Amino acid sequence: MAQKNYAGKQIEVTEEGYLVSPDDWTKELAVEMAKEDGIELSDKHFEVLEYLRKEYAAGTALSIRKVGKSGIVDIKGLYSLFPGGPLKLSSKYAGIPKPASCV
Amino acid sequence: MSEVIKETPLKKVMIICAKGTVEDVYAALIMANGAVMEGIEAKLFFTFFGLDAITKKYMNKLHTSTVGNPALRMPGGLPFPTLLGALPGVEAGVSAMMKKQMDEMDVPPVDEFLDMITAGGGEIYACKLAADMFKLTKDDFSEHVKDIITVGELYAMSGGEGTQIIFT
């Protein structure tokens, strides 16, 4: 475990940078997290993040296929929003645990 | 003092699939999709019976073998008798059951899987020798097949540090 300063607060994160507690999440924190990877979050990004947070809270096992069928963005769009890590990066910025799925 | 081992991160995978059973094809598809999801470049090369996975007519009708497959078990864990597996319709039934279980795990049908892989920048190729042998042309293949290539062309694409060739 480690601590990181996001939006003026000390936040508990895992070694890979995922939030330990999804309740620590704020929009400002997501913006700062994405900036570290050189990604500027748009409204579309936030639609995806909010969808992921909602599904995670409902206990859904997430996959890019599910996000692609959410009606928010197709899979190609998801890759262009979160280059190099469509599910990993989006989960990280959404403040939910690292995805455990193989698809 | 412990020695520091420097690892070269994986940058590109070339995945070769030469068989057309559900498990062989899905192993290749899952590995390729997993690669692009991790930001690793992936190229998939289908050859011999693996061509079924990209042939429009057969791609969503793949079977798993119910004959001579010692790891196949009945629900409950009893061995699946080879003689039972030889009966008409049994292989189709078992294959349908497997696909249903995969769908529950969010593993898509082959055409949708190819769609997902190419959406992530992965590339799909068919082997020229096998396509010629089975008298298949670009029209027989899924729209996701980028090209029909020779083994020499495959190797030419395999350059670069951090590249691995995987034969499933």
> Domain map of chain B by residue range?
12-167
Q: Does the model's ipTM exceed the 0.90 cut? A: yes
Predicted confidence (pLDDT) at residue A6 exceeds the cutoff of 80: yes
Which CATH superfamily groups domain B12-167?
Answer: DsrEFH-like (3.40.1260.10)
Identify whether A45 is part of a domain.
yes
What gap in Å lies between CA B77 and CA B162, rounded to an integer? Answer: 41
> Does residue A65 have an active-site annotation?
no
What gap in Å lies between CA B58 and CA B134, rounded to an integer? Answer: 13
Q: What is the pLDDT of residues A64-101, one digit of tens each?
A: 999 999 999 999 999 999 999 999 999 999 999 999 88
Identify whether A6 is part of a domain.
no
Single-letter amino acid code for the residue at A10 = Q
Identify whether A51 is part of a domain.
yes
Q: Is B106 on the interface with A (CB under 8 A)?
A: yes
Q: Is B168 on the interface with A (CB under 8 A)?
A: no
SS3 A85: coil
Residue predicted with more confidence, A1 or B107? B107
User: Which residue in A75, A85, A103 is closest to B39 by CB distance?
Assistant: A85
User: Which residue in A66, A68, A102 is closest to B34 by CB distance?
Assistant: A102
Sign of the C-alpha dihedral computed for residues A71, A76, A81 and A82 taken in this order: positive
Chain B residues inside the 8 Å CB shell of A80: none
In the numeric block, the tokens 């790891």 are attached to: B71
DSSP notation for B91-114: HHHHHHHHHHHHHHTTPPPHHHHH
Identify whether A63 is part of a domain.
yes
What gap in Å lies between CA A13 and CA A22, rounded to an integer? Answer: 10
Q: Is B92 on the interface with A (CB under 8 A)?
A: no
Chain B residues inside the 8 Å CB shell of A63: 106
Say how many CA atoms lie within 13 Å of A34 toward its Cβ: 25
Q: Is B147 on the interface with A (CB under 8 A)?
A: no
pLDDT given at position B73: 92
pLDDT given at position A1: 73
Q: What range defines the domain where residue A54 resides?
A: 26-93
Residues B7-19, mean pLDDT to the nearest whole number? 96
Identify whether A84 is part of a domain.
yes
Catalytic annotation, pick one of A1, A100, A102, A103: A102
Q: What is the pLDDT of residues A13-56, one digit of tens each?
A: 999 999 999 999 999 999 999 999 999 999 999 999 999 999 99
Identify whether A100 is part of a domain.
no
Identify whether A15 is part of a domain.
no
pLDDT given at position A48: 98
Our count of domains for chain A comes to 1
Predicted confidence (pLDDT) at residue B3 exceeds the cutoff of 80: no
Q: What is the pLDDT of residues B57-85, one digit of tens each?
A: 999 999 999 998 999 998 899 999 999 99
What gap in Å lies between CA B120 and CA B44, rounded to an integer? Answer: 13
Identify whether A9 is part of a domain.
no
What gap in Å lies between CA B157 and CA B51, rounded to an integer? Answer: 20
∠B133-B23-B123 over CA atoms, to 5°?
A: 60
Residue B117's nearest CA partner among B32, B54, B52 is B32
